[in-house]
């Protein structure tokens, strides 16, 4: 973690050091020197190339384009068809894009939080795999499990670390390859989900705004309504669990639907209250992209937020679970729907059962920066260096493994030549003081 006294006075990025603006988007906001704020300064997303349309699904299960569109709003989704494309590779691409927008070197990151329900493994964390791939040599890393609400949970964790002075830069990832845990013979679930990843970079700042309030909730009495029953300690993997399909998503859709429409509205109301705002103050709501009817019955009908203030892109990607809000944020930015001074709400629900909302006052410019060939080349070289560093460390461990060690000290002959760097061992920065 970074030392707390390195607080940034100005926001780096977005778009190469541009200054954050005030509420009306004209004059720069003045730094509030006594306080810390958690500002979003970078964003990026990645989705697989392979598109699966509703018509494609008609060939797999007994369903129809008409049923899927009218009951969910989904038209197509992306699926990681290439086995080499995983939750970590999608997250890595999204992370690199977010770092690029913020123009921040990965070594500056203090913490990486990856929210996912389809991690690479039970352990190690997907966050650690991304940390290695991007060369974030000074960052701690962990995964967070709160299903589709996870991205907003992770934003809340990031904000907490920053406000406590424990971190200056936190990378928050929401990444899924749910296509790997969907039962492609179950029409109740396989038509709903898609793969993808989104990332945002949060920075400590003295500029007022950023993530101003969060609201998290859980009701574990509904744990069985949406679950992957097997593969954990309650039902370890066995021939029987595999043959009975218990490693796939099981869902009571109707019950989840009822829960979702209630908590999306309630969580939004609560977070706005905490932020001292009303629904009329909100410029854009980015809801979890699960089902158009859930969005209509909650945010639009109950809170009376007008349609043009609610961003929806689920028709293209389906429900990408925890990745849906950051992907939608990136597309809202691309569509020119986010500008400095805007008040945003992110709100999600998911397995657990869980729900989460956060209120944000956006503070950085969102226009795309001109491509800088030199910086881009340097960045690519940095990622090659990160890959080389990772290989070197694996090679060193292999040598330790095959070479007979001194039983007293565990040292290898000629150890000095292959010592790991003192400043960043296993991602933990060692203080010089």
Catalytically active residues, by annotation: 148, 288, 319
Q: Give the x-and-dash track for 211-250 against ligand ACO (CB under 6 A).
A: ---------------x------------------------
For strands 196-205 and 169-176, give the pairing: antiparallel
Q: Which of 321, 361, 363, 366 binds ligand ACO (CB under 6 A)?
A: 321
Handedness of CA 50, 54, 55, 57 (dihedral sign): positive
| Phi, psi torsion values for 80, nearest 5 degrees | -75, 90
Query: Which parts of 278-372 fold into alpha helices (H)?
Result: 292-295, 314-317, 324-334
63 binds ligand ACO (CB under 6 A): yes
CB of 68 to ligand ACO, least distance (A): 6
Element containing residue 266 per DSSP (H, E): helix 253-275
Give how far the C-alpha of residue 116 lies from the chain's centroid of Cα atoms, to the nearest Å: 8
Q: Which of 254, 308, 407, 422 binds ligand ACO (CB under 6 A)?
A: 254
102: closest CA among 167, 15, 170, 11?
Answer: 15
Instruction: Say which DSSP state 382 is in.
Output: H
| Nearer to ligand ACO among residue 65 and residue 166 (C-beta) | 65
Element containing residue 287 per DSSP (H, E): strand 284-287
Q: Give the x-and-dash track for 290-309 against ligand ACO (CB under 6 A).
A: xx------------------
Q: Give the x-and-dash track for 144-163 against ligand ACO (CB under 6 A).
A: ---xx---------------
Name residue, tokens 């990965």.
106
253 binds ligand ACO (CB under 6 A): yes
- Interacting span for ligand ACO (CB under 6 A) from 60-68, 160-168, 267-275, 374-382: 60-68
Number of residues lying near ligand ACO (CB under 6 A): 23
| Nearer to ligand ACO among residue 77 and residue 161 (C-beta) | 77
Q: How far apart are the first and last CA of the chain?
A: 14
Query: Please, which of residues 260-289 interact with ligand ACO by CB under 6 A?
Result: 260
Give how far the C-alpha of residue 54 lies from the chain's centroid of Cα atoms, to the nearest Å: 26
State how far the Cα of 289 lies from the Cα of 267, in Å rounded to an integer: 16
- Enumerate binding residues for ligand ACO (CB under 6 A): 63, 67-68, 71-72, 147-148, 187-188, 191, 226, 251, 253-254, 256-257, 260, 290-291, 319, 321, 350-351
């Amino acid at each position: 973690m970074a030392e707390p006294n390195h607080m940034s006075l100005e926001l780096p990025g977005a778009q190469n050091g541009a200054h954050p603006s005030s509420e009306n988007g004209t004059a720069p906001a003045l730094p509030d020197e006594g306080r810390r704020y958690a500002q979003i300064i970078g964003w990026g997303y990645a989705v697989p190339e392979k598109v699966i349309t509703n018509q494609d699904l008609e060939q797999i299960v007994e369903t129809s384009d008409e049923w899927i569109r009218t009951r969910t709003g989904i038209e197509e989704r992306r699926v990681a068809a290439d086995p080499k494309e995983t939750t970590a590779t999608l997250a890595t691409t999204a992370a690199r894009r977010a770092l690029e927008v913020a123009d921040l070197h990965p070594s500056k990151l203090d913490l990486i939080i990856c929210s996912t329900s389809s991690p690479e493994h039970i352990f190690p964390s997907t966050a650690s795999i991304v940390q290695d791939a991007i060369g974030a040599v000074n960052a701690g890393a962990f995964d967070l499990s709160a299903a589709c609400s996870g991205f907003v949970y992770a934003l809340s964790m990031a904000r907490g670390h920053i406000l406590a002075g424990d971190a200056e830069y936190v990378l928050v990832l929401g990444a899924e390859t749910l296509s790997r845990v969907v039962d492609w013979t179950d029409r109740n679930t396989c038509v709903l989900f898609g793969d993808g990843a989104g990332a945002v970079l949060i920075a400590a700042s003295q500029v007022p705004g950023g993530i101003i309030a969060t609201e998290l909730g859980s009701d574990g009495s509904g744990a069985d309504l949406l679950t992957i029953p097997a593969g954990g300690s309650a039902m370890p993997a066995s021939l029987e669990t595999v043959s009975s399909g218990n490693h796939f998503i099981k869902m009571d859709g109707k019950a989840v639907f009822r829960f979702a429409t209630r908590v999306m509205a309630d969580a939004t109301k609560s977070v706005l209250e905490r932020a001292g705002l009303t629904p009329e103050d909100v410029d854009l709501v980015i809801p979890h992209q699960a089902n158009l009817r859930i969005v209509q019955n909650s945010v639009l009908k109950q809170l009376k937020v007008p349609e043009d203030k609610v961003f929806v892109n689920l028709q293209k990607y389906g429900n990408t679970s925890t990745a849906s809000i950051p992907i939608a944020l990136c597309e809202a930015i691309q569509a020119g729907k986010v500008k400095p001074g805007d008040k945003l709400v992110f709100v999600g629900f998911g397995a657990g059962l869980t729900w989460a909302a956060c209120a944000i006052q956006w503070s950085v410019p969102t226009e795309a920066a001109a491509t800088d060939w030199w910086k881009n080349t340097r960045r690519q070289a940095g990622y090659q260096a990160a890959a080389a560093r990772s290989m070197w460390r694996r090679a060193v461990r292999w040598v330790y493994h095959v070479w007979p060690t001194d039983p007293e000290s565990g040292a290898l002959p000629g150890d000095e030549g292959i010592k790991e760097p003192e400043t960043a061992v296993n991602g933990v920065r060692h203080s010089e003081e």
